Protein backbone atom coordinates (compact mmCIF):
# COMPACT_ATOMS: atom_id res chain seq x y z
CA UNK A 1 0.00 0.00 0.00
CA UNK A 2 1.46 3.36 -1.00
CA UNK A 3 1.22 6.51 1.04
CA UNK A 4 -0.65 9.49 -0.47
CA UNK A 5 2.66 11.28 -1.17
CA UNK A 6 4.10 8.23 -2.89
CA UNK A 7 0.95 7.91 -4.98
CA UNK A 8 1.14 11.54 -6.08
CA UNK A 9 4.74 10.89 -7.12
CA UNK A 10 3.56 8.04 -9.37
CA UNK A 11 1.12 10.48 -10.98
CA UNK A 12 4.05 12.80 -11.78
CA UNK A 13 6.05 9.95 -13.31
CA UNK A 14 3.00 8.86 -15.29
CA UNK A 15 2.72 12.37 -16.74
CA UNK A 16 6.29 12.15 -18.02
CA UNK A 17 5.43 8.93 -19.86
CA UNK A 18 2.21 10.43 -21.15
CA UNK A 19 3.90 13.50 -22.59
CA UNK A 20 6.59 11.37 -24.23
CA UNK A 21 3.87 9.29 -25.91
CA UNK A 22 2.21 12.34 -27.50
CA UNK A 23 5.11 13.27 -29.81
CA UNK A 24 3.59 16.70 -30.14
CA UNK A 25 4.87 20.24 -30.00
CA UNK A 26 6.09 21.34 -26.59
CA UNK A 27 5.33 24.96 -27.41
CA UNK A 28 1.54 24.75 -27.72
CA UNK A 29 -0.73 26.41 -25.18
CA UNK A 30 -2.15 22.95 -24.37
CA UNK A 31 1.29 21.75 -23.29
CA UNK A 32 1.62 24.73 -20.96
CA UNK A 33 -1.90 24.18 -19.67
CA UNK A 34 -1.10 20.53 -18.96
CA UNK A 35 2.02 21.46 -17.01
CA UNK A 36 0.18 24.10 -14.97
CA UNK A 37 -2.58 21.64 -14.14
CA UNK A 38 -0.16 18.89 -13.13
CA UNK A 39 1.72 21.36 -10.90
CA UNK A 40 -1.56 22.24 -9.18
CA UNK A 41 -2.30 18.56 -8.48
CA UNK A 42 1.20 17.82 -7.23
CA UNK A 43 1.02 20.82 -4.91
CA UNK A 44 -2.43 20.13 -3.44
CA UNK A 45 -2.44 16.34 -3.62
CA UNK A 46 -5.65 14.38 -4.02
CA UNK A 47 -8.43 15.45 -1.64
CA UNK A 48 -9.03 13.27 1.40
CA UNK A 49 -11.50 13.22 4.31
CA UNK A 50 -9.97 16.40 5.81
CA UNK A 51 -10.92 18.29 2.63
CA UNK A 52 -14.37 19.78 3.33
CA UNK A 53 -15.68 19.17 -0.18
CA UNK A 54 -14.64 15.48 -0.04
CA UNK A 55 -15.24 14.68 3.62
CA UNK A 56 -17.72 11.90 2.80
CA UNK A 57 -16.02 10.69 -0.39
CA UNK A 58 -12.38 9.68 -0.04
CA UNK A 59 -11.78 9.23 -3.73
CA UNK A 60 -8.03 9.61 -3.38
CA UNK A 61 -7.88 6.58 -1.12
CA UNK A 62 -10.01 4.57 -3.54
CA UNK A 63 -7.54 5.34 -6.33
CA UNK A 64 -4.53 4.46 -4.20
CA UNK A 65 -6.05 1.07 -3.40
CA UNK A 66 -7.29 0.24 -6.88
CA UNK A 67 -5.32 1.98 -9.66
CA UNK A 68 -1.59 1.66 -10.34
CA UNK A 69 -1.50 5.04 -12.02
CA UNK A 70 1.99 4.92 -13.47
CA UNK A 71 1.57 1.46 -14.94
CA UNK A 72 -1.54 2.00 -17.04
CA UNK A 73 -1.34 5.50 -18.47
CA UNK A 74 -1.68 4.12 -22.00
CA UNK A 75 -5.30 3.13 -22.45
CA UNK A 76 -6.01 -0.50 -23.27
CA UNK A 77 -7.67 -1.08 -26.63
CA UNK A 78 -10.81 -3.21 -26.78
CA UNK A 79 -13.60 -3.98 -29.20
CA UNK A 80 -16.88 -2.09 -28.90
CA UNK A 81 -19.61 -4.09 -27.20
CA UNK A 82 -23.27 -3.63 -28.13
CA UNK A 83 -25.23 -1.20 -25.95
CA UNK A 84 -28.99 -0.71 -25.43
CA UNK A 85 -28.72 2.69 -27.14
CA UNK A 86 -27.42 1.35 -30.45
CA UNK A 87 -30.88 1.22 -32.04
CA UNK A 88 -31.94 4.70 -30.94
CA UNK A 89 -32.20 7.28 -33.72
CA UNK A 90 -29.48 9.89 -33.50
CA UNK A 91 -25.87 10.72 -34.23
CA UNK A 92 -23.45 8.35 -32.45
CA UNK A 93 -19.93 8.53 -31.07
CA UNK A 94 -18.46 5.45 -29.41
CA UNK A 95 -15.48 5.43 -27.04
CA UNK A 96 -13.98 2.18 -25.76
CA UNK A 97 -11.46 2.15 -22.92
CA UNK A 98 -10.62 5.78 -23.56
CA UNK A 99 -10.31 5.58 -27.35
CA UNK A 100 -12.66 6.73 -30.08
CA UNK A 101 -14.07 3.83 -32.11
CA UNK A 102 -14.50 5.51 -35.49
CA UNK A 103 -15.75 2.30 -37.14
CA UNK A 104 -18.95 2.33 -35.08
CA UNK A 105 -19.42 6.09 -34.80
CA UNK A 106 -21.80 7.79 -37.22
CA UNK A 107 -22.26 11.56 -37.52
CA UNK A 108 -24.12 11.46 -40.80
CA UNK A 109 -23.98 14.77 -42.67
CA UNK A 110 -23.15 16.97 -39.70
CA UNK A 111 -19.85 18.27 -41.02
CA UNK A 112 -21.32 21.70 -41.73
CA UNK A 113 -23.15 21.91 -38.39
CA UNK A 114 -21.09 20.04 -35.83
CA UNK A 115 -17.35 19.80 -35.33
CA UNK A 116 -16.06 16.64 -33.64
CA UNK A 117 -12.34 16.06 -33.18
CA UNK A 118 -9.90 14.75 -30.61
CA UNK A 119 -8.55 17.26 -28.12
CA UNK A 120 -5.17 17.47 -29.84
CA UNK A 121 -6.72 17.99 -33.28
CA UNK A 122 -9.11 20.61 -31.95
CA UNK A 123 -6.24 22.60 -30.46
CA UNK A 124 -4.35 22.45 -33.75
CA UNK A 125 -7.29 23.20 -36.05
CA UNK A 126 -9.42 25.61 -34.03
CA UNK A 127 -7.57 28.88 -33.68
CA UNK A 128 -9.78 30.32 -30.92
CA UNK A 129 -9.90 27.19 -28.77
CA UNK A 130 -7.39 28.72 -26.37
CA UNK A 131 -10.09 31.17 -25.30
CA UNK A 132 -12.33 28.33 -24.07
CA UNK A 133 -10.39 25.26 -23.03
CA UNK A 134 -9.89 25.26 -19.28
CA UNK A 135 -11.39 28.71 -18.72
CA UNK A 136 -14.40 27.56 -16.65
CA UNK A 137 -12.21 25.18 -14.65
CA UNK A 138 -10.38 28.25 -13.32
CA UNK A 139 -13.65 29.53 -11.84
CA UNK A 140 -14.33 26.29 -10.00
CA UNK A 141 -11.03 24.44 -9.55
CA UNK A 142 -10.93 20.82 -8.44
CA UNK A 143 -7.93 18.50 -8.12
CA UNK A 144 -9.54 15.94 -10.42
CA UNK A 145 -10.42 18.49 -13.09
CA UNK A 146 -6.76 19.58 -13.04
CA UNK A 147 -5.76 15.91 -13.32
CA UNK A 148 -8.01 15.59 -16.34
CA UNK A 149 -6.49 18.69 -17.96
CA UNK A 150 -3.03 17.22 -17.50
CA UNK A 151 -3.80 13.79 -19.01
CA UNK A 152 -6.78 14.06 -21.36
CA UNK A 153 -6.22 13.59 -25.08
CA UNK A 154 -9.51 12.01 -26.17
CA UNK A 155 -13.00 13.41 -26.01
CA UNK A 156 -15.46 15.38 -28.05
CA UNK A 157 -15.10 18.95 -29.27
CA UNK A 158 -18.52 20.25 -30.31
CA UNK A 159 -19.22 23.55 -32.00
CA UNK A 160 -22.81 24.18 -33.07
CA UNK A 161 -23.00 27.05 -35.50
CA UNK A 162 -25.25 30.08 -35.09
CA UNK A 163 -29.02 29.37 -35.26
CA UNK A 164 -28.43 25.68 -35.97
CA UNK A 165 -30.96 23.21 -34.55
CA UNK A 166 -29.90 19.57 -34.88
CA UNK A 167 -32.66 17.31 -36.17
CA UNK A 168 -31.58 14.41 -33.92
CA UNK A 169 -29.81 14.08 -30.58
CA UNK A 170 -26.12 13.28 -30.30
CA UNK A 171 -25.22 10.12 -28.35
CA UNK A 172 -21.77 9.88 -26.77
CA UNK A 173 -21.37 6.28 -25.60
CA UNK A 174 -18.47 5.24 -23.36
CA UNK A 175 -17.69 1.58 -22.67
CA UNK A 176 -14.94 0.29 -20.39
CA UNK A 177 -13.96 -3.38 -20.64
CA UNK A 178 -11.78 -4.45 -17.71
CA UNK A 179 -11.83 -8.17 -18.46
CA UNK A 180 -8.08 -8.21 -19.19
CA UNK A 181 -6.74 -5.40 -17.01
CA UNK A 182 -7.55 -2.17 -15.21
CA UNK A 183 -8.69 0.72 -17.38
CA UNK A 184 -7.78 4.37 -16.89
CA UNK A 185 -9.59 6.90 -19.09
CA UNK A 186 -9.51 10.71 -19.12
CA UNK A 187 -12.14 12.31 -21.37
CA UNK A 188 -12.28 16.04 -22.08
CA UNK A 189 -15.47 17.29 -23.71
CA UNK A 190 -15.90 20.87 -24.86
CA UNK A 191 -19.11 22.28 -26.32
CA UNK A 192 -19.55 25.76 -27.79
CA UNK A 193 -23.18 26.40 -28.69
CA UNK A 194 -23.35 29.61 -30.67
CA UNK A 195 -26.07 32.25 -30.66
CA UNK A 196 -29.56 30.88 -31.23
CA UNK A 197 -28.35 27.28 -31.63
CA UNK A 198 -29.82 24.22 -29.90
CA UNK A 199 -28.10 21.00 -28.82
CA UNK A 200 -29.26 17.78 -27.15
CA UNK A 201 -26.66 15.26 -25.97
CA UNK A 202 -27.05 11.90 -24.24
CA UNK A 203 -23.79 10.78 -22.66
CA UNK A 204 -24.04 7.14 -21.54
CA UNK A 205 -21.44 5.15 -19.58
CA UNK A 206 -21.22 1.36 -19.40
CA UNK A 207 -18.60 -1.06 -18.10
CA UNK A 208 -17.90 -4.80 -17.94
CA UNK A 209 -15.19 -6.93 -16.35
CA UNK A 210 -13.96 -7.73 -12.85
CA UNK A 211 -10.99 -5.33 -12.76
CA UNK A 212 -11.31 -1.71 -11.70
CA UNK A 213 -12.04 1.07 -14.17
CA UNK A 214 -11.30 4.71 -13.37
CA UNK A 215 -12.87 7.39 -15.53
CA UNK A 216 -12.14 11.08 -15.03
CA UNK A 217 -14.29 13.34 -17.22
CA UNK A 218 -14.47 17.11 -17.62
CA UNK A 219 -17.20 18.76 -19.66
CA UNK A 220 -17.10 22.49 -20.39
CA UNK A 221 -20.21 23.99 -22.04
CA UNK A 222 -20.48 27.53 -23.36
CA UNK A 223 -24.06 28.66 -24.03
CA UNK A 224 -23.97 31.77 -26.17
CA UNK A 225 -26.77 34.34 -26.41
CA UNK A 226 -30.20 32.70 -26.81
CA UNK A 227 -28.66 29.21 -27.06
CA UNK A 228 -30.30 26.10 -25.64
CA UNK A 229 -28.56 22.97 -24.32
CA UNK A 230 -29.90 19.75 -22.82
CA UNK A 231 -27.16 17.35 -21.67
CA UNK A 232 -28.16 14.06 -20.07
CA UNK A 233 -25.61 11.86 -18.30
CA UNK A 234 -26.48 8.17 -17.78
CA UNK A 235 -24.12 6.43 -15.35
CA UNK A 236 -24.75 2.69 -15.69
CA UNK A 237 -21.39 1.10 -14.91
CA UNK A 238 -20.77 -2.02 -12.84
CA UNK A 239 -19.65 -2.45 -9.23
CA UNK A 240 -15.92 -2.12 -10.05
CA UNK A 241 -16.20 1.35 -11.61
CA UNK A 242 -14.72 4.52 -10.12
CA UNK A 243 -15.92 7.75 -11.73
CA UNK A 244 -15.22 11.46 -11.31
CA UNK A 245 -17.43 13.68 -13.47
CA UNK A 246 -16.96 17.47 -13.63
CA UNK A 247 -19.60 19.37 -15.63
CA UNK A 248 -18.96 23.10 -15.97
CA UNK A 249 -21.35 25.48 -17.75
CA UNK A 250 -21.09 29.17 -18.68
CA UNK A 251 -24.27 30.93 -19.83
CA UNK A 252 -24.73 34.20 -21.70
CA UNK A 253 -27.86 36.35 -22.06
CA UNK A 254 -31.21 34.63 -22.78
CA UNK A 255 -29.64 31.15 -22.79
CA UNK A 256 -31.15 28.00 -21.29
CA UNK A 257 -29.30 24.93 -20.06
CA UNK A 258 -30.61 21.66 -18.61
CA UNK A 259 -28.30 19.05 -17.07
CA UNK A 260 -29.75 15.63 -16.18
CA UNK A 261 -27.59 13.27 -14.11
CA UNK A 262 -28.87 9.72 -13.62
CA UNK A 263 -26.78 7.28 -11.55
CA UNK A 264 -28.01 3.71 -11.19
CA UNK A 265 -24.80 1.81 -10.39
CA UNK A 266 -21.03 1.91 -9.90
CA UNK A 267 -18.58 1.45 -7.03
CA UNK A 268 -17.84 5.12 -6.25
CA UNK A 269 -19.19 8.05 -8.27
CA UNK A 270 -18.54 11.74 -7.71
CA UNK A 271 -20.47 14.28 -9.81
CA UNK A 272 -19.44 17.93 -9.68
CA UNK A 273 -21.77 20.39 -11.44
CA UNK A 274 -21.01 24.11 -11.68
CA UNK A 275 -23.15 26.59 -13.62
CA UNK A 276 -22.34 30.29 -14.00
CA UNK A 277 -25.26 32.48 -15.09
CA UNK A 278 -23.36 35.55 -16.26
CA UNK A 279 -26.03 37.69 -17.91
CA UNK A 280 -29.69 38.63 -17.70
CA UNK A 281 -32.57 36.25 -18.51
CA UNK A 282 -30.45 33.14 -18.18
CA UNK A 283 -32.15 29.92 -17.14
CA UNK A 284 -30.61 26.76 -15.66
CA UNK A 285 -32.27 23.45 -14.73
CA UNK A 286 -30.49 20.66 -12.86
CA UNK A 287 -32.11 17.28 -12.29
CA UNK A 288 -30.49 14.30 -10.63
CA UNK A 289 -31.49 10.78 -9.63
CA UNK A 290 -29.36 8.27 -7.74
CA UNK A 291 -31.03 4.88 -7.30
CA UNK A 292 -28.40 2.67 -5.69
CA UNK A 293 -27.93 -0.51 -3.72
CA UNK A 294 -25.18 -2.87 -2.56
CA UNK A 295 -22.19 -0.82 -1.42
CA UNK A 296 -22.44 1.80 -4.15
CA UNK A 297 -21.34 5.31 -3.11
CA UNK A 298 -22.65 8.33 -5.05
CA UNK A 299 -21.75 11.95 -4.24
CA UNK A 300 -23.43 14.87 -6.05
CA UNK A 301 -21.94 18.34 -5.51
CA UNK A 302 -23.64 21.24 -7.30
CA UNK A 303 -22.90 24.95 -7.42
CA UNK A 304 -25.02 27.62 -9.16
CA UNK A 305 -23.52 31.09 -9.48
CA UNK A 306 -26.05 33.87 -10.19
CA UNK A 307 -23.94 36.85 -11.27
CA UNK A 308 -26.39 39.16 -13.06
CA UNK A 309 -30.06 40.27 -12.60
CA UNK A 310 -33.19 38.44 -13.72
CA UNK A 311 -31.83 34.91 -13.83
CA UNK A 312 -33.58 31.68 -12.86
CA UNK A 313 -32.37 28.31 -11.63
CA UNK A 314 -34.27 25.22 -10.59
CA UNK A 315 -32.64 22.19 -9.02
CA UNK A 316 -34.20 18.86 -8.04
CA UNK A 317 -32.17 15.85 -6.91
CA UNK A 318 -33.72 12.64 -5.62
CA UNK A 319 -32.15 9.56 -4.08
CA UNK A 320 -33.34 6.01 -3.36
CA UNK A 321 -30.84 4.00 -1.32
CA UNK A 322 -30.97 0.32 -0.38
CA UNK A 323 -28.63 -2.20 1.30
CA UNK A 324 -25.39 -0.50 2.45
CA UNK A 325 -25.33 2.19 -0.21
CA UNK A 326 -24.25 5.74 0.60
CA UNK A 327 -25.56 8.90 -0.99
CA UNK A 328 -24.22 12.44 -0.64
CA UNK A 329 -25.79 15.69 -1.82
CA UNK A 330 -24.16 19.08 -1.35
CA UNK A 331 -25.82 21.92 -3.21
CA UNK A 332 -24.80 25.58 -3.20
CA UNK A 333 -26.56 28.61 -4.65
CA UNK A 334 -24.65 31.89 -4.84
CA UNK A 335 -26.53 35.13 -5.55
CA UNK A 336 -24.10 37.98 -6.17
CA UNK A 337 -24.78 41.59 -5.19
CA UNK A 338 -25.63 42.59 -8.77
CA UNK A 339 -27.99 39.64 -9.29
CA UNK A 340 -31.24 41.36 -8.25
CA UNK A 341 -34.56 39.76 -9.27
CA UNK A 342 -33.00 36.28 -9.07
CA UNK A 343 -35.27 33.25 -8.68
CA UNK A 344 -33.42 30.20 -7.40
CA UNK A 345 -34.87 26.96 -6.07
CA UNK A 346 -33.14 23.84 -4.76
CA UNK A 347 -34.61 20.61 -3.39
CA UNK A 348 -33.12 17.27 -2.38
CA UNK A 349 -35.43 14.38 -1.42
CA UNK A 350 -34.29 10.93 -0.30
CA UNK A 351 -35.81 7.56 0.55
CA UNK A 352 -33.90 5.00 2.61
CA UNK A 353 -35.06 1.43 2.02
CA UNK A 354 -32.57 -0.17 4.41
CA UNK A 355 -31.46 0.65 7.98
CA UNK A 356 -27.87 0.33 6.73
CA UNK A 357 -28.22 2.89 3.92
CA UNK A 358 -26.82 6.38 4.54
CA UNK A 359 -27.49 9.84 3.13
CA UNK A 360 -25.56 13.02 3.90
CA UNK A 361 -27.30 16.10 2.53
CA UNK A 362 -26.44 19.78 2.80
CA UNK A 363 -28.36 22.38 0.74
CA UNK A 364 -26.90 25.89 1.02
CA UNK A 365 -27.71 29.48 0.05
CA UNK A 366 -25.36 32.46 0.00
CA UNK A 367 -27.17 35.67 -0.93
CA UNK A 368 -25.68 39.16 -1.27
CA UNK A 369 -28.67 40.74 -3.09
CA UNK A 370 -31.89 42.10 -1.56
CA UNK A 371 -34.63 41.61 -4.16
CA UNK A 372 -34.60 37.85 -4.75
CA UNK A 373 -36.78 34.76 -4.39
CA UNK A 374 -34.71 31.81 -3.20
CA UNK A 375 -35.51 28.60 -1.37
CA UNK A 376 -33.83 25.34 -0.52
CA UNK A 377 -34.72 22.22 1.40
CA UNK A 378 -34.23 18.51 1.85
CA UNK A 379 -36.21 15.52 3.10
CA UNK A 380 -35.08 12.06 4.17
CA UNK A 381 -37.35 9.22 5.19
CA UNK A 382 -38.96 5.93 4.28
CA UNK A 383 -41.97 5.13 2.14
CA UNK A 384 -45.22 6.68 3.33
CA UNK A 385 -47.21 4.02 5.22
CA UNK A 386 -50.50 5.80 4.51
CA UNK A 387 -49.87 5.69 0.78
CA UNK A 388 -48.91 2.01 1.05
CA UNK A 389 -52.10 1.29 2.99
CA UNK A 390 -54.18 3.15 0.38
CA UNK A 391 -52.79 0.99 -2.42
CA UNK A 392 -53.00 -2.25 -0.40
CA UNK A 393 -56.66 -1.50 0.41
CA UNK A 394 -57.35 -1.54 -3.32
CA UNK A 395 -56.03 -5.06 -3.79
CA UNK A 396 -52.47 -4.21 -4.79
CA UNK A 397 -49.76 -6.44 -3.32
CA UNK A 398 -47.22 -4.90 -0.96
CA UNK A 399 -44.30 -5.41 -3.35
CA UNK A 400 -46.22 -3.90 -6.25
CA UNK A 401 -47.40 -0.99 -4.12
CA UNK A 402 -43.83 -0.22 -3.01
CA UNK A 403 -42.63 -0.40 -6.60
CA UNK A 404 -45.37 1.99 -7.75
CA UNK A 405 -44.51 4.57 -5.09
CA UNK A 406 -40.78 4.40 -5.79
CA UNK A 407 -41.33 4.67 -9.53
CA UNK A 408 -43.52 7.75 -9.04
CA UNK A 409 -40.86 9.26 -6.77
CA UNK A 410 -38.13 8.79 -9.39
CA UNK A 411 -40.41 9.83 -12.25
CA UNK A 412 -40.30 13.51 -11.29
CA UNK A 413 -36.66 13.54 -12.40
CA UNK A 414 -36.84 11.22 -15.41
CA UNK A 415 -39.74 13.21 -16.89
CA UNK A 416 -37.35 16.08 -17.62
CA UNK A 417 -35.41 14.08 -20.23
CA UNK A 418 -37.00 15.20 -23.49
CA UNK A 419 -35.58 12.43 -25.72
CA UNK A 420 -38.42 9.93 -25.56
CA UNK A 421 -36.57 6.64 -26.27
CA UNK A 422 -34.00 7.47 -23.58
CA UNK A 423 -36.72 8.37 -21.08
CA UNK A 424 -38.57 5.11 -21.77
CA UNK A 425 -35.34 3.11 -21.50
CA UNK A 426 -34.56 4.65 -18.11
CA UNK A 427 -38.09 4.08 -16.88
CA UNK A 428 -37.74 0.38 -17.69
CA UNK A 429 -34.32 0.19 -15.99
CA UNK A 430 -35.78 1.82 -12.89
CA UNK A 431 -38.74 -0.53 -12.90
CA UNK A 432 -36.50 -3.58 -13.20
CA UNK A 433 -34.19 -2.31 -10.45
CA UNK A 434 -37.05 -1.55 -8.06
CA UNK A 435 -38.95 -4.80 -8.62
CA UNK A 436 -35.95 -7.16 -8.49
pLDDT, tens digit (0-9, with 9 covering 90-100), for 338-395: 999 999 999 999 999 999 999 999 999 999 999 999 999 999 999 887 887 778 788 8
DSSP state of 337: T
CA 432 to chain centre: 23
User: What per-residue confidence (pLDDT) applies to 79?
Assistant: 64
Give the β-pairing of 99-100 and 91-96.
antiparallel
Query: Does the structure show a pLDDT above 90 at 80?
Result: no
pLDDT tier at 74, thresholds 50, 70, 90? very low
User: What per-residue confidence (pLDDT) applies to 259?
Assistant: 98
Query: Does the structure show a pLDDT above 90 at 265?
Result: yes
Lowest mean pLDDT among 26-40, 131-145, 267-281: 26-40
User: What per-residue confidence (pLDDT) applies to 1?
Assistant: 44
pLDDT tier at 201, thresholds 50, 70, 90? very high
* Cβ atoms of residues 224 and 279 within 8 Å: no
Q: In whole angstroms, give the CA distance from residue 354 to residue 135.
A: 43
User: What per-residue confidence (pLDDT) applies to 128?
Assistant: 64
Burial of 154 (0-12, 13-18, 19+ CB in 10 A): middle
* Cβ atoms of residues 253 and 220 within 8 Å: no
Q: In whole angstroms, give the CA distance from residue 166 to residue 197.
A: 9
The per-residue pLDDT of the chain, averaged, comes to 90
- 221: number of CA atoms within 13 Å, CB side? 30
User: What per-residue confidence (pLDDT) applies to 25?
Assistant: 55
Task: For residue 340, give the 3-state DSSP assignment.
Answer: coil
- pTM assigned to the model: 0.94
pLDDT tens figures, 146-176: 999 999 888 889 999 999 998 899 999 999 9
Amino acid sequence: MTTPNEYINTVGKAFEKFEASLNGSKSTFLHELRKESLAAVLKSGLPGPKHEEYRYTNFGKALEKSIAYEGIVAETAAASAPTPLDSFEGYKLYFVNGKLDASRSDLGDLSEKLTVTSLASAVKEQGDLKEYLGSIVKSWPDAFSHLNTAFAKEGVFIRVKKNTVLDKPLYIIHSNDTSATEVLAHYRNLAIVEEGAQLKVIEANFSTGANTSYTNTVLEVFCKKNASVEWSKLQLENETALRIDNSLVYQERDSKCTINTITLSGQMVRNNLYIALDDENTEAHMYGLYLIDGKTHVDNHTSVDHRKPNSFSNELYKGIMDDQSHGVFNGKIFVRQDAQKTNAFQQNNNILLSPNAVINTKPQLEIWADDVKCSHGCTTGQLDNEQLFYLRARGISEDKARAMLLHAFAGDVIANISVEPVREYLEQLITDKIEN
